[in-house]
Amino acid sequence: MAGGVVLSLLAVAALLAACGGDEGVELREDRQLEAELRQLRQAGEAAPLRQFVPGDWDHVYSFAEPVTREFVVEQVGRPVDMGDTFTGPGNMLVFTKSGDVQDAVSVEVNLFDGSYGPGVRVIADPPNTGRLQLNDGSGSRW
């Protein structure tokens, strides 16, 4: 009997995978990160993004709104549970580790979009204009 239950569960898991049941990490608002980035912008300073977003990530993707789920998957290589289109306001940041999505957040702050490594810095560009630049030294932007 236990074998039948296991086979049934495996069949359901396979069906969900075939139907796209894995939507990936859910996009969430991050008000703390938003407040820290606003403060950095107002001060006209620069700092490593890791100072604000600790954790186990080695890559970050920044998407300015509006952006489609299709484009996010194309860039990141993995799904993010976000609806069909992120319309903001602000930006969506997707953090990955070895290609796997670790976190996906939205912030009501205007950042340059692109793809950046673990040494990325956030830079007021120029101070008090409402925009923040992301720069990891590689010049990477899509």
**pLDDT tens figures, 59-89:** 999 999 999 999 999 999 999 999 999 998 9
pLDDT digits (tens, 9 = 90+) for 116-134: 999 999 999 776 667 899 9
The yes-or-no verdict on residue 5 having pLDDT over 50 is no
Calculate the alpha carbon distances from 29 to 8, 21, 26, 45 in Å.
37, 23, 10, 24
Q: What is the pLDDT of residue 17?
A: 39
| Mean pLDDT in residue range 90-109 | 97
How would residue 137 be classed by pLDDT, with cut points 50, 70 and 90? confident
Are 101 and 22 contacting, i.e. CB atoms less than 8 angstroms apart? no
Measured CA to CA, the distance from residue 65 to residue 107 in angstroms comes to 11
Q: Which residues contact 33 (CB under 8 A, 6 or more apart)?
A: 52, 53, 93, 105, 107
Write out the H or E segment, with its range, that includes residue 29.
Answer: strand 28-29
pTM of the predicted model, to two decimals?
Answer: 0.82
